Amino acid sequence: MIGPQPRDPGKRPVPVKDCVTCIHLARLRERASTAGDGSAVTDANVRLRRHQGEEHR
């Protein structure tokens, strides 16, 4: 059985305009990126994708 195709993990999710949670997670990602913390960048991307899948579909 073939399920849904995964999103491209290399693409950064784009925050939804005027969504406080999206903006917060994108800011966390940017701070982590500036600090050179790749693990935290990945975590923020995962959280942002999960949030968007639950709230913006």
Q: What is the DSSP letter of 29?
A: H
pTM of structure: 0.81
Each residue's pLDDT expressed in tens, for the chain with a length of 57 residues? 454 445 666 789 999 999 999 999 999 999 999 999 999 999 999 999 999 999 998
What total number of domains does the chain contain?
1
The answer to whether residue 2 sits within a structural domain is no
State how far the alpha carbon of 34 is from the alpha carbons of 2, 5, 29, 44, in Å: 39, 31, 9, 13
Domain limits for position 25: 20-55
The answer to whether residue 6 sits within a structural domain is no
